[in-house]
């Protein structure tokens, strides 16, 4: 009843607004509006030439046909964690890329519009993280340098800065890829897009399309096979799946935030508030801490979760305000007396909808059994975290079932990241080829980001080789994996073995001092300590240096170092700015801050390059080709650690 009332009011409001000239729109009083109308009757066009209404000052049509066709190597749809990493990796690997995002900001669920923490393998069964590296880490570090205040609106622009500074990459915000235009051979020829803010229709042509949009509209309109809902347990031998397949998809959530105003703050709920029945609610719906909202204010669907989104959002807002009303007005939480809402999301954060079908469907046994894939390109490790069927409309059940934690990260194969039937369509994020139960773990944003880096790199390799993703996977998977690892992605149990790395031919590598590990381990292919085995060299104090000697002269124009950023500590922006053993809001103290490299040329040490404020784990030096017999990496300072720790050194001609 209340809801009908809301719509009636909304429609009336909209009609009214459209009939009233702009000059009178801001006047709420009927009387004033009448006065304006009477003026308009006297001077129907005001002081302007009526022709002006049909053309711009320059004489051009005010609503011309803004249609543009643009061509790229790779088009990425969706500007969340997966899409950003896909676009960056494709661009860095040589493709001309466009990133199409239908919101005004980047970041997807992590953006200021939604504010979900960018979680990943935050903690395994031992309580420790196995944090993601590669592009997503670079983004999180970028945030630590530019957003120490932990502001979400600033985070939006940290991402904007990160994406727009990348060469070879065009960003189109407020742009929706509405449908795919297909070629006769079934490949996607172009994405037909609408940019809201410029009233422009874009036809974006590309060789490769990567759908990281979550809902997967582009892929769906291309005819890519997909599935929604829960698989039957018998289909993939999943013990946590229901006996019968059904349509249930985990819901979306409206988060909110409040702040202490220092004085009592009354709260009157808006009319659309839906009462929260705390008495009937499972105790897993924790009400404290209350300051940052309640993730379990969630609504899913048995049917068309995308089509129902706006209706569900209306209800979700009602539920969110309902819980807050309970906190403020039930009398049971006096600690909320001085608190007032200062942010409520208007865009629910989505967990699940379409899941495309690839050449492989990742499922629960793969995760729990830690299946080792020859084509592994990413990893995950968040627990199997399946939210309850019904969400907040099913109060008696716990809000989520944390079925299992993982002992170690599981692998994600490349075959789950491209379409089975649309040959040039790749995907990353929650829409990859996986079951509902696998999604309950892998949907986490940093995991999606790793998939994004994998498909972006894959797309660029496909463009270079003029092949399709399936062929890449079948014939060139080693090259894809090597490139990913070189770019600092981590593939569990898959060390690098890059034959073009000149360090492999070095006669000797040593450190000026050693407090842990061994300098030889800097070329063992592992970029982190793993399975309780050290793969690092750590200096004993600073300054220190690592020196590499070759018996013969080598030509080098590129030197790459992977330093320590402590992958056992999470870095992401959090609303509570948590600082403890496994979360930090600071720049990792272990990370190298300043260093330089020297080469010995004709017997003399020559300075090649200096970095005074390093901001990344993967440190790249590119320089004019030199002929040398030795290089020296001089480590001067970290961001606080006493010793410097390195995991890898590589050299290329």
Partner 1 sequence: MKNLLHFITSACLCLWVGFNSTDEIKHSLQIIHKGISLTKPVICTLVEVTNDNTLPHEFYMDVESVVCGDNQCKIDVVRIYWDELGRFNKLVLPKDVHLEKAEGISFTDTDYKKLNDILKNEDSPLQDVFKDEIVGTVGGEGVDAMSGETILLEKSAYVKGAVWTCYSLWHWVHGDIKQHIKDITGKSYSKQDLRLLLEQKDYQAFAIEQLTKKEDYSKQTARAILNAIETNPSLLKSSLPYWENAPKSIYVFGSEKLLSMLKPTNRMLFLTSILQTQQELSPDFFNQLSPLISKFTYQEIDIFLNILKEKQMITNNIIQSLVPLLKAENFIISRRAYYFLEGIDLSKENERKTSDFFEKWKDRL
Does 532 bind partner 1 (CB under 8 A)? Our answer is no
| Burial class of residue 631 in the structure, from the number of CB atoms within 10 Å of its CB (0-12 exposed, 13-18 middle, 19+ buried) | buried
Does 343 bind partner 1 (CB under 8 A)? Our answer is no
- Please, which residues have CB within 8 angstroms of residue 285's CB and are 6 or more apart in sequence? 294, 296, 395, 398, 399
Judged by CB under 8 A, which of 30, 268, 581, 624 binds partner 1?
A: 581
Does 552 bind partner 1 (CB under 8 A)? Our answer is yes
Judged by CB under 8 A, which of 20, 182, 306, 578 binds partner 1?
A: 578
Residue 240 pairs with which residues in a beta bridge? none
What minimum distance in Å lies between the beta carbon of 401 and partner 1? 11
Does 510 bind partner 1 (CB under 8 A)? Our answer is yes
The CA distance from 444 to 59, in Å, is: 51
Applying CB under 8 A, the span of 22-30, 360-368, 377-385, 556-564 interacting with partner 1 comes to: 377-385
Q: Which is nearer to partner 1, 250 or 417 (CB)?
A: 250
Judged by CB under 8 A, which of 55, 112, 493, 512 binds partner 1?
A: 512
Does 295 bind partner 1 (CB under 8 A)? Our answer is yes
Q: Which is nearer to partner 1, 184 or 581 (CB)?
A: 581
What minimum distance in Å lies between the beta carbon of 255 and partner 1? 7
Number of residues that bind partner 1 (CB under 8 A): 54
Contact characters 625-644, partner 1, x per CB under 8 A: ----x---------------
| Burial class of residue 249 in the structure, from the number of CB atoms within 10 Å of its CB (0-12 exposed, 13-18 middle, 19+ buried) | buried
Closest CA to 100 of 120, 78, 117: 78
Q: Which is nearer to partner 1, 294 or 418 (CB)?
A: 294
- Please, which residues have CB within 8 angstroms of residue 435's CB and are 6 or more apart in sequence? 231, 235, 236, 238, 241, 355, 361, 362, 363, 364
Closest CA to 130 of 499, 458, 514, 530: 530
| Burial class of residue 427 in the structure, from the number of CB atoms within 10 Å of its CB (0-12 exposed, 13-18 middle, 19+ buried) | buried
Enclosing H/E stretch for 556: strand 544-563
The CA distance from 356 to 302, in Å, is: 18
The CA distance from 539 to 175, in Å, is: 50
The CA distance from 615 to 285, in Å, is: 40
Judged by CB under 8 A, which of 137, 138, 364, 385 binds partner 1?
A: 385
- Please, which residues have CB within 8 angstroms of residue 283's CB and are 6 or more apart in sequence? none
Judged by CB under 8 A, which of 253, 353, 435, 598 binds partner 1?
A: 253
Applying CB under 8 A, the span of 28-36, 186-194, 466-474, 598-606 interacting with partner 1 comes to: 598-606
What minimum distance in Å lies between the beta carbon of 603 and partner 1? 4
Closest CA to 258 of 539, 526, 576: 576
Q: Which is nearer to partner 1, 18 or 580 (CB)?
A: 580
What minimum distance in Å lies between the beta carbon of 329 and partner 1? 23
Q: Which residues bind partner 1 (CB under 8 A)?
A: 116-117, 119, 122-123, 126-128, 253, 255, 284, 286, 288-289, 292-296, 298, 349, 351, 382-383, 385, 399-400, 402, 443-444, 507-508, 510, 512-514, 540, 547, 549, 551-553, 574, 576, 578-583, 600, 602-603, 629
């Amino acid at each position: 009843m209340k809801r009908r009332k809301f719509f009636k009011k909304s429609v009336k409001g909209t009609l009214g607004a459209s009939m009233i000239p702009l000059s009178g729109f801001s006047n709420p009083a009927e009387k004033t509006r009448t006065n304006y109308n009477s003026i308009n009757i006297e001077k129907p066009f005001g002081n302007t030439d009526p022709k002006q209404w049909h053309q711009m000052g320059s004489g051009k049509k005010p609503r011309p046909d803004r249609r543009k066709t643009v061509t790229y190597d790779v088009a990425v749809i969706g500007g969340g964690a997966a899409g950003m990493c896909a676009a960056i990796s494709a661009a860095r690997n040589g493709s001309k890329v466009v990133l199409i995002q239908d919101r005004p900001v980047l970041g997807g669920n992590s953006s200021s519009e939604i504010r979900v923490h960018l979680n990943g393998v935050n903690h395994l069964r031992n309580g420790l993280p196995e944090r993601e590296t590669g592009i997503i880490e670079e983004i999180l570090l970028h945030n630590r340098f530019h957003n120490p205040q932990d502001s979400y609106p600033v985070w939006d622009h940290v991402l904007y800065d990160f994406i727009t500074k990348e060469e070879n990459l065009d960003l189109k915000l407020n742009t929706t890829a509405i449908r795919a235009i297909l070629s006769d051979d079934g490949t996607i020829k172009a994405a037909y897009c609408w940019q809201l803010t410029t009233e422009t229709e874009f036809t974006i042509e590309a060789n490769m399309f990567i759908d990281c949009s979550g809902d997967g509209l582009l892929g769906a309109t291309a005819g890519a096979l997909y599935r929604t809902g829960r698989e039957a347990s018998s289909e993939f031998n999943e013990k946590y799946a229901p006996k019968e397949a059904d349509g249930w998809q985990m819901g979306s959530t409206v988060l909110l935030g409040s702040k202490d105003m220092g004085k009592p703050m009354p709260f009157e709920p808006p009319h659309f508030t839906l009462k929260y029945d705390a008495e009937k609610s499972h105790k897993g719906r924790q009400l404290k801490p209350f300051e940052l909202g309640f993730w379990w204010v969630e609504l899913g669907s048995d049917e068309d979760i995308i089509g129902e989104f706006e209706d569900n959002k209306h209800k979700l807002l009602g539920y969110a305000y309902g819980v807050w009303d309970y906190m403020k007005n039930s009398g049971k939480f006096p600690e909320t007396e001085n608190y007032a809402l200062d942010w409520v999301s208007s865009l629910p954060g989505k967990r699940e909808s379409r899941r495309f079908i690839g050449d492989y469907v990742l499922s629960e046994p793969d995760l729990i059994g830690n299946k080792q894939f020859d084509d592994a390109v990413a990893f995950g490790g968040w627990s199997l975290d399946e939210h309850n069927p019904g969400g907040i409309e099913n109060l008696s059940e716990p809000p989520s079932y944390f079925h299992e934690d993982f002992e170690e990260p599981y692998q994600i194969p490349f075959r789950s990241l491209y379409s089975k039937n649309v040959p040039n369509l790749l995907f990353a994020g929650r829409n990859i080829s996986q079951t509902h139960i696998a999604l309950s773990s892998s949907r986490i944003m940093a995991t999606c980001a790793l998939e994004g880096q994998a498909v972006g790199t894959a797309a660029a390799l496909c463009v270079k080789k003029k092949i399709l993703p399936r062929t890449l996977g079948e014939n060139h998977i080693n090259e894809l994996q090597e490139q990913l690892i070189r770019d600092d992605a981590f593939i569990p149990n898959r060390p690098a073995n890059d034959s073009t790395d000149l360090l492999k031919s070095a006669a000797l590598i040593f450190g000026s001092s050693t407090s842990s590990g061994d300098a030889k381990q800097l070329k063992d292919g592992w970029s982190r300590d793993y399975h309780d085995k050290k793969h690092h060299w750590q200096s004993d104090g600073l300054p220190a240096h690592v020196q590499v000697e070759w018996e013969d002269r080598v030509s080098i124009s590129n030197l790459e170092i992977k330093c320590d950023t402590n992958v056992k500590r999470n870095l992401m922006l959090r609303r509570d700015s948590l600082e403890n053993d496994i979360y930090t809001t600071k720049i990792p103290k272990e990370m190298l801050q300043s260093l330089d490299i020297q080469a010995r040329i004709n017997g003399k040490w020559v300075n090649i390059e200096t970095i005074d404020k390093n901001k990344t784990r993967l440190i790249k030096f590119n320089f004019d080709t030199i002929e040398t017999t030795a290089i020296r990496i001089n480590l001067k300072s970290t961001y606080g650690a006493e010793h410097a720790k390195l995991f890898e050194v590589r050299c290329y001609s």
